[in-house]
Homo-oligomer: A and B are copies of this chain.
Amino acid sequence: MKIVLLGSGNVATHLAKALKSKGEEIVQVYSQNLDNASLLTQLIGAEAIADLNEVKQDADLYIISVKDDAIGTVAASLKKVNGLVVHTSGTTDIDVLASQVRKAGVFYPLQTFSKSKEVSFENIPLCIEASDSDQLAILSNLAHKISSQVYELDGEKRKVLHLAAVFACNFPNHLYALANKILNQNGLDFEIIRPLIAETADKVMANLPENVQTGPAVRDDENTLNKHLSMLNDMPELQNIYQTLSNSIKLMPK
């Protein structure tokens, strides 16, 4: 398949590398910023462009991996192509594409990507959706080439998954950052808490989280809860988060 990639951010970069490593041909990378496109094409050997009018019209697949609110604008430039046009967004409806292009789909990798860290696509869940079964088969075939976990999900389910991902990824990472803030203010290094973070995530690989909850809130240890809240007196924002999450833990069925 000849693939045009529209976007050069974290998702686009990691996806491009994974596709390239499986022998797929990425012919062009578009970015508003030509330097960003060039950075990526140097890695995967494609043409870098910064003008949507220069997009090749004869590719088999167009992967739009830009900010959600720019997907529609990019798709508008692909009205005449015959290839399949997909986006990689967790929250954007397929109709944003389907209303503009002939063949539309979604190719959503459920993972958190950073420029600085390599990830193996093998274990990344890929959520796919397409405007018809032929296109879905094409996407399924491509998805299985790079991942062992492929899920056919409609838009509603995909949006639920994206919401759950905020709770399972973005919020925990922020709580790690708040822990670091508390440590730093007291002359302690983040290093000391890394084994705990690793084990906490590892525990739920073979258990459900509600079955392995630990800490003062789940054991109704009011004494410790009150000590902790008073330690946060000069950090009211963290105190509020502590109270909110502890209350929520207490509400869980045991």
Residues of B with C-beta under 8 A to A124: 195
Task: Out of B163, B202, B207, B251, name the residue touching A182 (CB < 8 Å).
Answer: B163
Minimum CB–CB distance for A254 against chain B, Å: 12
A91 to B110, CA, bound (A): 38
**How many copies of this chain sit in the oligomeric assembly?**
2
A208 lies within 8 A of B192 (CB) = no
Task: Out of B68, B157, B201, B252, name the residue touching A174 (CB < 8 Å).
Answer: B252
Q: A204-B194, A231-B160 are in contact. Are A119 and B209 (CB under 8 A)?
A: no
B223 lies within 8 A of A123 (CB) = no
A167 lies within 8 A of B196 (CB) = no
Residues of B with C-beta under 8 A to A210: 177, 180
Q: A174-B209, A174-B213 are in contact. Are A110 and B164 (CB under 8 A)?
A: no
Residues of B with C-beta under 8 A to A166: 215-216, 228, 242
Do most interface residues of chain A lie in helix, strand or loop, or is the interface mixed?
Answer: helix
Proximity string of chain A (220-254) to chain B, C-beta cutoff 8 Å, 1 when within and 0 when not: 01011001100110000110111011001101100
A200 lies within 8 A of B157 (CB) = no
Show 25 residue pairs from A and B whose CB-CB distance is below 8 angstroms, ordered by the A residue.
Answer: A10-B214, A91-B224, A111-B199, A116-B212, A117-B212, A125-B192, A149-B195, A159-B227, A162-B228, A164-B182, A164-B193, A165-B196, A167-B175, A168-B193, A168-B200, A169-B214, A170-B214, A170-B215, A171-B172, A172-B172, A173-B215, A174-B217, A194-B205, A197-B205, A198-B205
A209 to B176, CA, bound (A): 6
Most B C-beta atoms less than 10 A away, residue of A151, A172, A228? A172
A184 to B88, CA, bound (A): 24
A249 to B245, CA, bound (A): 15
B167 lies within 8 A of A182 (CB) = yes
A224 lies within 8 A of B161 (CB) = no
Which A residues form the contact surface with B (CB < 8 A)? 10, 67-69, 91, 110-114, 116-117, 119, 123-125, 149, 151, 156-157, 159-180, 182-183, 186-188, 190, 192-210, 212-219, 221, 223-224, 227-228, 231-232, 237-238, 240-242, 244-245, 248-249, 251-252
B119 lies within 8 A of A199 (CB) = yes
Minimum CB–CB distance for A163 against chain B, Å: 5
A249 lies within 8 A of B174 (CB) = yes
